[in-house]
Amino acid sequence: MFSGPPADPAAPPGPGLPAAAAVPAPTDDSPFAGGPPGQQSGRPAPGRSWTTPLLLCAAGTLALLVALLGPGLVARGTGELRIPGAGLTTVLRTVLFAALALHLGELLAPQLIRPVRGRPRTAVRSWAVRASLAGAAAAAGQIVRLAAVSDLGITETYGTREGGLLLLIANGLVLAALCAASRRPALALAPLALVIGAEALRAHPEAYSPEFGAALTVVHLTAASLWTGGLLYVLRTLWIWRGSPVAARALLGRYARLAIWLYVALAATGTASALRRLPLDVVFTSAYGRTLLVKLTLMAVVSVLAVAARRRMLRDADPSAAHLLARREQVLLGLVVVVSAILTVVPDPHWISLRP
């Protein structure tokens, strides 16, 4: 099923009306204006050359600040023990989660692209190798941080439960990068599955049913990575397909149908994990509870944007409006990744609930 990036030649167009007859001419301010990329008709949008990089830099800065300051802010006034280096750990875990999403998204999205009839010959560049190497570096950074906090040598740190699992994660991501650089990039599925399993075990050291919690995390992390990484790959593809609105609309529709099932998996496993791990009496008085509320709020907004994008896609032949909503959804999903990283860093809230 997963066989890497789509082949360069476009699939032969199917029967039916040609693109020009099927879709009304897009307006000049649409990202799907007629013509190949870089040769759209009409006036170039003013400020387009610097607005996007500026917005990306602003979003990256915001994500970094949330990762560095978030653990301390949500724990303020809770009486919970301070986690040494929580901000740096959150940044490293954010990079790790983003690496998983990017690589899994590049394995999933091409399967949605191949059946699209009349698709352009162009394909986006792969980020899988660099993403997995960045994730491996983030896992190695967590090992170094763990050694410093525990006052252990690197070799001794490997012998701890968390250190051993982080080493497994780092090696798995390096192996995934090697697979991505090979002629058989789909082989990366095996080491990525190993990474997800190791991360699920690392995130659940608690004494109460850790196996059940790890199983929920495997499903949740896989679905979240496929949703976030798959959407990013689709959006990158839509940008270089902006001269082919029919193919772009078909691709967005295929992704939207898959995203429904990913959302169901996320909602079910997320609800089960929250009910299992968070006592109701400390929802507002624990760092975990406060962070979870922020995540739920962001996911509610993401859900609204996803539903709105699907409705616009079904109603309008021009995919520009749905594409804009999907881009906003992607930005918020990036913040969800950061908040999810904070959830893995803050203390287990059960000890607060059991206090006299």
Instruction: Give pLDDT, residue 353.
Output: 61
Instruction: Give pLDDT, residue 205.
Output: 75
189-239 pLDDT, tens digit each = 999 999 999 999 998 877 677 888 899 999 999 999 999 999 999 999 998
Looking at mean pLDDT, say which of 73-77, 165-169, 272-276, 285-289 comes out highest: 165-169
Q: 0.85 cut: is pTM over it?
A: no
Instruction: Give pLDDT, residue 182.
Output: 94
245-270 pLDDT, tens digit each = 889 889 988 999 999 999 999 999 99
30-82 pLDDT, tens digit each = 455 444 444 444 444 444 457 767 877 887 888 889 898 989 899 888 888 78
Looking at mean pLDDT, say which of 55-59, 185-189, 302-306, 352-356 comes out highest: 185-189
147-205 pLDDT, tens digit each = 998 888 998 999 999 999 999 999 999 999 999 999 999 999 999 999 999 999 998 87
Instruction: Give pLDDT, residue 198.
Output: 95
What's the whole-number average pLDDT of the chain? 83
Confidence check: pLDDT of 340 > 90: yes
pLDDT > 70 fraction of the chain, expressed in percent and rounded: 84
pLDDT mean over 272-294: 89
Instruction: Give pLDDT, residue 209.
Output: 77
Confidence tier at 21 by pLDDT (50, 70, 90): very low
pLDDT > 90 fraction of the chain, expressed in percent and rounded: 47
Instruction: Give pLDDT, residue 320.
Output: 79
Confidence check: pLDDT of 325 > 50: yes
Q: Nearest Cα to 37, choosing from 242, 220, 181, 232?
A: 242
Instruction: Give pLDDT, residue 31.
Output: 55
